[in-house]
A = this chain, B = another copy of it.
C-alpha cells in the first residue's frame, strides 16, 4: 500500500463548506492518561476534593485533550493523511467534564492554491454547546 493510497483528499478535491467530525465521550482514564503524557497534573484535572472547590464543581478535562480531537479530524478524516498542520487557534469557551461527549468538527473556510493551504473553522461541542472554537490551517498535497 503506497503512501498515496492513504490520501483521502488532495488539495484539488477540497471545497469550501466541506466538513467532518469525530466524537468521543470523555472518560476519567482519558484525563488521567493525558495528565500523565503531558505532565499537566493540575489538581483541576486529577484532584476531585480540590475540583469541588472550584467554579467547575468537579474535575474537568484538559482543553488540549479536546483540542486533540480537532487534530484527529484533520489528521484522519478531512483532509486526512498527507496533510501537514500549519497552525491552530483555540478559545476555551466552556469546561468539559467526565462523561461529556465531545464532538470535534472542522469546516473548510478557504483555500490558498499557491501554498496548497486550506483554512478551517474548528469547534468542539458538548450537547450542541461550543466548548472550544478556533481556526486551523493545513497544507494539503496536490494531485497534480
Interface residues, chain A, CB within 8 Å of chain B? 1-3, 5-6, 21-25, 27-30, 32-50, 53-55, 59, 62-65, 67-69, 71-72, 75-76, 80-82, 84-92, 99, 101, 103, 105, 127
Say yes or no: A65 contacts B38, CB within 8 Å: yes
Say yes or no: B86 contacts A92, CB within 8 Å: yes
Best-buried of A2, A85, A99, A103 by chain B (most CB within 10 Å) = A85
| A50 partner, pick from B3, B50, B69, beta carbons under 8 A | B3
- Chain B residues with Cβ below 8 Å from A3 are 43, 50, 53-54
| A21 partner, pick from B1, B67, B92, beta carbons under 8 A | B1
Shortest CB–CB separation between residue A105 and chain B, in angstroms?
8
| A92 partner, pick from B33, B76, B87, beta carbons under 8 A | B87
30 interchain pairs (CB within 8 A)?
A1-B21, A1-B103, A5-B21, A6-B50, A22-B39, A22-B41, A23-B43, A23-B47, A24-B47, A29-B29, A32-B36, A33-B37, A36-B36, A36-B37, A37-B37, A39-B46, A39-B68, A39-B76, A41-B76, A42-B80, A48-B99, A50-B101, A62-B68, A62-B71, A63-B71, A84-B92, A86-B92, A88-B90, A89-B90, A90-B90
Say yes or no: A38 contacts B85, CB within 8 Å: no
Shortest CB–CB separation between residue A85 and chain B, in angstroms?
5
